[in-house]
């Protein structure tokens, strides 16, 4: 039977990545707290005002940051698996393609391409399946948002044709 603590790993050095994450959490907590301090107005009758929740969020972020520092120094985080760059690059490429083309080719086509490239990042190699499926899915999303919720999404030739089809006068029966 071992007398060592279950979680403490003395031979591991402090986790640098976790320390960076902790620093980001603490900086984010400071920004949220600073922004909350600039909120004008408050609860005249009650102590809870528009500053309360941002301060609570800042306090939680700071607590997570401090906790992450302790865990990183103790070496309690598990060993990370080596990261593969190609899936991330496929996903980033999909986001960039959508960002650069959405104004010209419209929401549905750009999002369909994004879907296919993200699916490729997750291992789906058959673009002849993922592109049409992404197009159908994004057209359904466009119809729900543009027609059902009356929200404006970038439109292109596919959305224009769909809008004409959906607003075409129906023959009287």
Domain parsing of the chain, residue ranges? 16-74, 85-167
**Burial class, 21, CB count within 10 angstroms (exposed 0-12 / middle 13-18 / buried 19+):** middle
pLDDT of residue 43: 57
**Against a cut of 0.75, is the pTM above it?**
no
Residue-wise pLDDT tens for the chain (173 aa)? 555 555 555 566 778 888 999 999 999 999 999 998 887 766 566 677 778 889 999 999 999 999 999 988 887 777 778 888 899 999 999 999 999 999 889 888 999 999 999 999 998 888 888 889 999 999 899 888 887 788 888 888 887 787 777 776 777 66
pLDDT of residue 59: 96
CB 121 within 8 A of CB 95: no
**Burial class, 74, CB count within 10 angstroms (exposed 0-12 / middle 13-18 / buried 19+):** middle
Nearest to 93, CA basis, from 116, 66, 67: 116
pLDDT of residue 100: 94
């Amino acid at each position: 039977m071992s007398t060592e603590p279950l979680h403490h790993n003395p031979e591991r050095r402090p986790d640098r990545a976790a320390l960076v994450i902790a620093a980001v959490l603490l900086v984010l907590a400071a920004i949220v707290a600073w922004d909350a301090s600039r909120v004008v107005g408050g609860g005249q009758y009650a102590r809870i005002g528009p500053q309360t929740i941002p301060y609570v969020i800042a306090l939680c972020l700071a607590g997570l940051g401090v906790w992450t520092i302790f865990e990183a120094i103790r070496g309690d985080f598990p060993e990370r698996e080596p990261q593969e760059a190609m899936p991330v690059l496929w996903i980033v490429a999909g986001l960039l393609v959508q960002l650069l083309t959405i104004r010209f080719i419209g929401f549905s086509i750009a999002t369909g391409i994004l879907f296919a490239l993200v699916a490729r990042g997750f291992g789906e190699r058959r673009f002849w399946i993922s592109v049409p499926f992404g197009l159908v899915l994004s057209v359904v999303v466009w119809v729900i948002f543009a027609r059902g919720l009356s929200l404006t999404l970038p439109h292109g030739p596919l959305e224009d044709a769909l809008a004409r089809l959906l607003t075409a006068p129906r023959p009287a029966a």
